[in-house]
């Protein structure tokens, strides 16, 4: 079924009836659950009809583009997407807007606060850039950024710079105690590739990105982290070989964490047969064997969290040849209903909530509160349509696909939203 038009978020006391409420260990049926207890606001009653009531999510990999690309997406669009998807917070890092000094950090925080349903409602953490403009010419003011309050240092999802620059950045950043976030990708091995290097790229004549583009970059970062004793995080790992590097690094007492992308768990490179640019995602969707290796990493605890990698792209930048399209996919609005059933089947409810909520929050020093919840009907399928997405962009490989479950409503910092 199609998702209904959402009711505009409003401050409200909420009484949820006939719900399976998450207790911290399992879902327990409750005839009635009261959320919030504010005075002088209306009270809303909602019949969950046996749906699950679980902690709201925390999203890694948020990029709302504004202010540099507000023609694509705005903070308001992003906040609406978070409401629809049940996210109480997230880690923000914009490829278009590097936060490379304290003034830019303050300006970004103030922009979030000035928006309706901004930082005062959502728990937003920010990654500072470790280089000026995500380049390789000069280092960012990392000490000032750390003092200002960034959660860590990132690369804007760019390729890994040369080893000497990584060393300089990590040596300087070490004094802050902050974690470095890298998307492991070797510049020369990626070259102009846009998909996984494998049977499908060969068959279709597309330029591929080999696994070693990721593993060589990951090994370089891990060696630097070992040498300098700096904590690191790998964003959107795509293959089992990288996870094995992470496992071995942990055995050697290297402080390394990692996440995998939503779509890397849902898809494999057989989707390229359609030549649909909706599947143009970086890092690339890899083989079925790679996807299974990621699931194994989720199950055995190697993977710390699931990343949203929420990246809006204009329609005109997607309705072109695959290799000419701009990579990226929206995920916030559809992540939970797309992954929940598969995740629970593989790892159980407690681990699923950890991967989507508590673990990503813990990585950046956040923590959910009991009243931030999302109501999910796990056995109520719906077809994803363009209207499910906030803003005027809808770049998602799930459009037209039937998801096995549906979000019925969310409650984020006293704001109730029905869908």
CATH code, 300: 3.20.20.140
Residue-number span of the structural domain to which 294 is assigned: 63-372
CB 191 within 8 A of CB 207: yes
Q: Is 182 helix (H, G, I), strand (E, B) or coil?
A: strand
Per-residue pLDDT of 8-44, as tens digits, reads 556 678 899 999 999 999 999 999 988 875 666 778 8
CA 394 to chain centre: 17
Question: Residue 303 domain-assigned?
Answer: yes
Per-residue model confidence (pLDDT) at position 10? 62
Question: Residue 394 domain-assigned?
Answer: no
Q: Which helix (H) or strand (E) holds 11?
A: strand 10-11
Question: Residue 196 domain-assigned?
Answer: yes
Which residues contact residue 113 at a Cβ distance below 8 angstroms, ignoring those fewer than 6 apart?
119, 120
Question: Residue 21 domain-assigned?
Answer: no
Q: Cis before residue 283, ω within 30 degrees of 0?
A: yes
Q: How many residues does the chain have?
A: 419
Per-residue pLDDT of 51-97, as tens digits, reads 999 999 999 999 998 877 888 898 889 999 999 999 999 999 999 89
pTM (2 d.p.): 0.94
Question: Residue 106 domain-assigned?
Answer: yes
Measure the CA–CA gap between 120 and 179, rounded to whole angstroms: 25
Measure the CA–CA gap between 388 and 385, rounded to whole angstroms: 6
Which residues contact residue 252 at a Cβ distance below 8 angstroms, ignoring those fewer than 6 apart?
226
CB 189 within 8 A of CB 209: yes
Question: Residue 138 domain-assigned?
Answer: yes
Per-residue model confidence (pLDDT) at position 13? 83
Question: Residue 401 domain-assigned?
Answer: no
Three-state secondary structure of 55-75: ECEEEEEECCCCCCCCCCCCH
Question: Residue 397 domain-assigned?
Answer: no
Give the other-Cβ count within 10 Å of 350's Cβ.
Answer: 14
Per-residue model confidence (pLDDT) at position 207? 95
Write down the residue that tokens 């629970």 correspond to.
344
Per-residue model confidence (pLDDT) at position 3? 41
Per-residue model confidence (pLDDT) at position 44? 85
Measure the CA–CA gap between 199 and 160, rounded to whole angstroms: 26
Q: Give the residues of the chain that fall short of pLDDT 70.
A: 1-11, 37-40, 114-120
Percentages (nearest 5) of helix, strand, coil residues in the chain: 35, 25, 40
* Structural domain count of the chain: 1
- Measured in degrees and rounded to the nearest 5, phi and psi for residue 330 equal -80, 150
């Amino acid at each position: 079924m199609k998702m209904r038009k959402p009711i505009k978020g409003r401050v409200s006391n909420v009484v949820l009836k006939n719900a399976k409420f998450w207790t911290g260990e399992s879902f327990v049926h409750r005839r009635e659950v009261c959320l919030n207890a504010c005075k002088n606001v209306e009270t809303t009653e909602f019949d969950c009809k046996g749906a699950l009531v679980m902690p709201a999510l925390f999203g890694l990999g948020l990029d709302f583009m504004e202010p540099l690309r507000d023609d694509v997406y705005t903070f308001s669009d992003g906040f609406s997407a978070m409401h629809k998807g049940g996210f109480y917070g997230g880690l923000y890092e914009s490829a278009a807007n590097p936060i490379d000094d304290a003034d830019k950090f303050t300006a970004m925080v103030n922009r979030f606060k000035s928006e309706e349903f901004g930082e005062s409602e959502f728990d937003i953490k920010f990654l500072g850039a470790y280089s000026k403009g995500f380049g390789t010419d000069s280092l960012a003011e990392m000490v000032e950024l750390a003092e200002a309050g960034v959660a860590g240092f990132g690369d804007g999802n760019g390729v890994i710079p040369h080893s000497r620059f990584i060393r300089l950045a990590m040596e300087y950043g070490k004094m802050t105690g902050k974690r470095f976030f890298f998307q492991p990708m070797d510049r020369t091995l990626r070259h102009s590739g846009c998909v996984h290097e494998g049977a499908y790229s060969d068959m279709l004549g597309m330029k591929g990105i080999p696994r070693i583009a990721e593993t060589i970059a990951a090994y370089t970062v891990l060696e630097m982290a070992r040498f300098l004793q700096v904590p690191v995080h790998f964003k959107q790992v795509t293959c089992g070989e990288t996870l094995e590097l992470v496992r071995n690094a942990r055995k050697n007492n290297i402080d390394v964490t990692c996440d995998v992308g939503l779509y890397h768990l849902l898809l494999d490179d057989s989707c390229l047969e359609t030549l649909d640019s909706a599947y143009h995602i970086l890092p690339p969707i890899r083989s079925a064997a790679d996807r299974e290796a990621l699931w194994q990493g989720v199950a055995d605890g190697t993977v710390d969290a699931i990343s949203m990698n929420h990246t809006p792209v204009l329609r005109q930048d997607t309705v072109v040849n695959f290799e000419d399209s701009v990579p990226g996919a929206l995920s916030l609005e559809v992540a939970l209903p797309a992954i929940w059933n598969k995740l629970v089947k593989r790892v159980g409810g407690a681990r699923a909530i950890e991967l989507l909520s508590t673990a990503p929050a813990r990585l950046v020093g956040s923590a959910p509160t009991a009243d931030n919840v999302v109501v999910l009907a796990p056995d109520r399928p719906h077809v994803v349509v363009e209207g499910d997405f906030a803003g005027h962009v809808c770049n998602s490989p799930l459009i037209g696909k039937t998801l096995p479950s549906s979000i019925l409503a969310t409650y984020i910092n006293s704001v109730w939203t029905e869908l």
